Amino acid sequence: MTFVSIIIPYNKPIRYLKSCLESIRDENLEDFETILILNGAKKDKSQVKSIIGDYKEDLNIITKTFEEEIGVAKARNEGIDMASGEYVYFIDSDDYLYTGGLGKLVEIAKETDADFINGQRIKTYFIRDRFEEELEKRKEKKKVEVKDDTDLYNSIRLLVSNSRESEVLTALHALIKRSIVTPIDGEDIRFDESKKVLSDYAFIVKVLDKSENFKFSDDAIYAKKIRGDQFNSPSLNQSTENFFGLAMDEYENILPVIDNLEDSEKRDKLKNRITEKLVRYYLYEYSRQYRSNNDDIWRTTYFDRFSQISNNFNLDYIDKNKKELKALQNHDRETMEKYMNRRLGYIKAKSIIKNLNKDKLYRTIYVNKYNKEPIVENRIMFIAFRGDFYTDSPKYIYEYLLEKYGDKFEYVWVLDDKKAELPGNPIRVKRFSLKYYKYIATSKYWVSNGRQALRLRKRPEQVMLSTWHGTPLKRLGLDIENIYSGSPKIKKSYILNAKGWDYLVSPNRYTTEILRRAFGYEGEILEEGYPRNDILYNASEETVNKIKDDLKLPKDKKIIIYAPTWRDDEFYDIGQYKFTLKLDMDRMKEELSEEYILLIRTHYFIADRLDLSDYKGFAYDVSKYDDIAELYLISDILITDYSSVFFDFANLRRPILFYTYDLDKYEQVLRGFYIDIHEEVPGPLLFTSEEVIDAIKNIEEVKEEYKDKYDIFYDRFCSIEDGHATERICDAVWK
């Protein structure tokens, strides 16, 4: 007999399904079946079929397909009707199991024959490969302090979400006797198909009512995947407007069902746990929204609703903040606000004192003082690459405005390098200094080539021009499937950043389409070319010679620039990447030094410093040189890998070589590409140092071989660039 029927509703996106099935396979279960309900999966039909084929035998997969979207509730009900197991178990296709997550529940079920066995769910942004590491590192696997040690209480404790969000009851990660949901005598228990979300509530309460014995395991862990891309592939909750209102509806609907439970112990424990959850939501989420959200609905409609619902709170069960909650119950806004402000003020003051440091103090001054000062209408603030360099498109926009308008504007540059030479006399501020916060709060315009720090609060009157910093080759932002090197919460930051942009610069139609999707950006795009590339069309021979003189480079040698990118999986910490020079420098010097010198320019994320002391006179580390466009200008050949630098360098129509020694890994595992790198790039893919050296020595043949492909590439990606992008963009923004 089948012991457990695992029921998975699948809709989209496909990127998560493989991880879900893989995690089930790794449980090494026996006597189980996997019921996969394909719910409106027309778009990915062939890919889904392929993935199912990979796991069908190991997981004993049974499928049922619906061409239309039938919803999660109906999909689960279909799974129940198809199930033959003694127990049913629900898992969502974008979630996965931590090793042993289901196996431990099955062991308990076989030992105890309990009606209901569940484990702990942990919400996470991380992909499965990183979850275990982060679980230990961040100590997310915590034992929750309990007030009651009964199996029933702990089952309910794990059943009711521990997060601060308003969603409470879930059917996920619980083994439920099939005879409970489909009894021989009595009414079947099914999910409410009229509800798009929150259909679990009544189902679970009815299951608890019919269950006689309960077991739990804190160590049986289920990873509830939070989708970072809520713009292109939101979860049901993320795509539902007014989720808070729906959740409040469901609380009100479910309380009478709980009150009608015959078992007083179940009734009281479930109601008290839900009350505890609601109180947490009020204290940690709702009250903050009430105080600071620009949408007044939190202080009107939602306040009225929450006040009404709070009358179900049993304040005898609540330890703290009773006076505030009593005022909420009484719809006494003035008294509630008094206690709310006192409580939140105390929390904030305590946090500042406990974590007292200069940065927190500056941020507090920024929010509470500087952001209330008048905005200076002619003040423009510039920043490039986190304030590390005076460079990129912000540099060229600044110099154009300075030349055209002079002191009509007040210019502020965010620069950590005090020695950097700038034309004009701009105000200089160090990133995250007190002065920085003052100017960021009061500048009418922000000009940036990257994502702004989330701690910054753009005011409605301010205008942000995002120039971005490259034509995308490798997947970017929301299009990245797997985040390896940092927190996947970064995807949420892409959306939040883009909401602040008033203008976004693009060099071509291809980039425009990608940036819209990758950042969830819906504002105005200036498809005019990159200001930083104007120099590639306008520079004089005098400018070229000056750059070479500044770098102390010989003028009798041709120049190769090697500009590799960073690898997502090679890092020390978030934003601090490793770099290993894979070129055979001894051979390069031996074969090429009579005719060439080599400039090496690593990505600004790279933490390692290059030691080129053995190659003095041949190899130069120019990673800290401010303006890479000036390095393009003096270079005869570019060597790169997956960096987007070749899109800019192509404006010069000079040879490009691609040193792609780890192409399979980068293409299939780490990032993936937007274009077919095998067919569309304007130069050869090279995999060894010997191939690189040979291509350089025969560069004229390479140029001829790739001439037609280069022309096609230039027309697609560079044809807008003409040396006047800065002028067009400034005219659009400053009219």
Query: Does residue 93 contact residue 12 with C-beta atoms inside 8 Å?
Result: no
Structure tokens at 328: 């909420």
pLDDT band for position 573 (cuts 50, 70, 90): very low
Per-residue confidence (pLDDT) for residue 124, from 0 to 100: 81
C-beta atoms surrounding 149 within 10 Å: 7
Lowest-confidence pick of 152-166, 315-329, 662-676: 152-166
Per-residue confidence (pLDDT) for residue 165, from 0 to 100: 47
Per-residue confidence (pLDDT) for residue 586, from 0 to 100: 94
Q: State whether the Cα torsion 267-273-274-278 is positive or negative.
A: positive
Average pLDDT over residues 91-96: 91
pLDDT at 576 over 50: no
pLDDT at 182 over 90: yes
Query: Does residue 518 contact residue 479 with C-beta atoms inside 8 Å?
Result: yes
* CA distances (Å), origin 81, targets 2, 5, 56, 74, 85: 15, 11, 20, 11, 11
- Which alpha helices (H) appear in 83-127, and where do they start and end? 103-112
pLDDT at 464 over 90: yes
pLDDT at 325 over 80: yes
DSSP state of 365: H
Higher pLDDT, 617 or 490: 617
Cβ burial of 581 (10 Å; 0-12, 13-18, 19+) is: middle
**Closest C-alpha to 651, from 567, 569, 531, 735:** 531
pLDDT at 539 over 70: yes
Average pLDDT over residues 138-144: 49
DSSP state of 172: B
Label residue 317 left, alpha or beta by phi (over 0 means left) and psi (-120 to 50 means alpha): alpha
Phi, psi for residue 212 in degrees, rounded to 5: -100, -35
Phi, psi for residue 621 in degrees, rounded to 5: -85, 110
Mean pLDDT of the chain: 86
Query: Does residue 116 contact residue 215 with C-beta atoms inside 8 Å?
Result: yes
Structure tokens at 25: 């396979």
Higher pLDDT, 268 or 336: 336
The Cα–Cα gap between 267 and 312 comes to 13
**Closest C-alpha to 279, from 249, 243, 317:** 317
Q: Is 621 helix (H, G, I), strand (E, B) or coil?
A: strand
The Cα–Cα gap between 701 and 706 comes to 9
Lowest-confidence pick of 70-74, 87-91, 100-104, 382-386: 70-74
Per-residue confidence (pLDDT) for residue 43, from 0 to 100: 60
Average pLDDT over residues 246-270: 77
Per-residue confidence (pLDDT) for residue 290, from 0 to 100: 87
Query: Does residue 513 contact residue 535 with C-beta atoms inside 8 Å?
Result: no
The Cα–Cα gap between 371 and 4 comes to 58
Phi, psi for residue 680 in degrees, rounded to 5: -105, -20
The Cα–Cα gap between 116 and 173 comes to 11
pLDDT band for position 476 (cuts 50, 70, 90): confident
Higher pLDDT, 725 or 208: 725
Tens of pLDDT, residue by residue over 105-123, are 999 999 999 999 988 888 8
pLDDT at 41 over 80: no
Q: Which residue(s) pair with 38 in the sheet? A: 10, 65
Per-residue confidence (pLDDT) for residue 247, from 0 to 100: 66
Lowest-confidence pick of 5-9, 53-57, 247-251, 289-293: 247-251
Structure tokens at 487: 């927190």
Structure tokens at 682: 């304007």
Q: Which residue(s) pair with 87 in the sheet? A: 4, 177
Per-residue confidence (pLDDT) for residue 607, from 0 to 100: 41
The Cα–Cα gap between 612 and 71 comes to 60
Structure tokens at 533: 């590339």
Structure tokens at 66: 């619906």
Query: Does residue 249 contact residue 168 with C-beta atoms inside 8 Å?
Result: no
What is the longest distance spanned by two Cα atoms in the chain?
94
pLDDT at 194 over 90: no
pLDDT at 695 over 80: yes
Q: Is 294 helix (H, G, I), strand (E, B) or coil?
A: coil
Query: 531 preceded by cis ω (within 30°)?
Result: no
Lowest-confidence pick of 210-224, 481-495, 605-619, 628-642: 481-495
Consecutive H or E run containing 560: strand 558-563
Average pLDDT over residues 363-392: 94
Count of all residues that appear for the chain in the document: 735
194-218 burial, b if ≥16 CB within 10 A, otherwise e? ebebbbbbbbbbbbbbbbeebbbbb
The Cα–Cα gap between 310 and 123 comes to 26
Tens of pLDDT, residue by residue over 20-38, are 999 999 999 999 999 999 8
DSSP state of 699: H
Tens of pLDDT, residue by residue over 261-315, are 788 888 888 787 778 777 887 887 888 888 887 778 888 888 998 898 888 888 8
48-70 burial, b if ≥16 CB within 10 A, otherwise e? beebbeebbeebbbbbeebeeeb
pLDDT band for position 605 (cuts 50, 70, 90): low
Phi, psi for residue 170 in degrees, rounded to 5: -145, 150
pLDDT band for position 354 (cuts 50, 70, 90): confident
Per-residue confidence (pLDDT) for residue 489, from 0 to 100: 65
Average pLDDT over residues 207-220: 88
pLDDT band for position 260 (cuts 50, 70, 90): confident
pLDDT band for position 671 (cuts 50, 70, 90): low
Lowest-confidence pick of 244-248, 257-261, 376-380: 244-248
Per-residue confidence (pLDDT) for residue 272, from 0 to 100: 79
Query: Does residue 168 contact residue 160 with C-beta atoms inside 8 Å?
Result: yes
The Cα–Cα gap between 309 and 140 comes to 31
pLDDT at 471 over 50: yes
The Cα–Cα gap between 270 and 258 comes to 8
Residues sharing a CB contact under 8 Å with residue 624, sequence separation 6 or more, in sequence order: none
The Cα–Cα gap between 384 and 525 comes to 19
Tens of pLDDT, residue by residue over 408-457, are 999 999 999 888 889 999 999 999 999 999 999 999 999 999 888 888 98
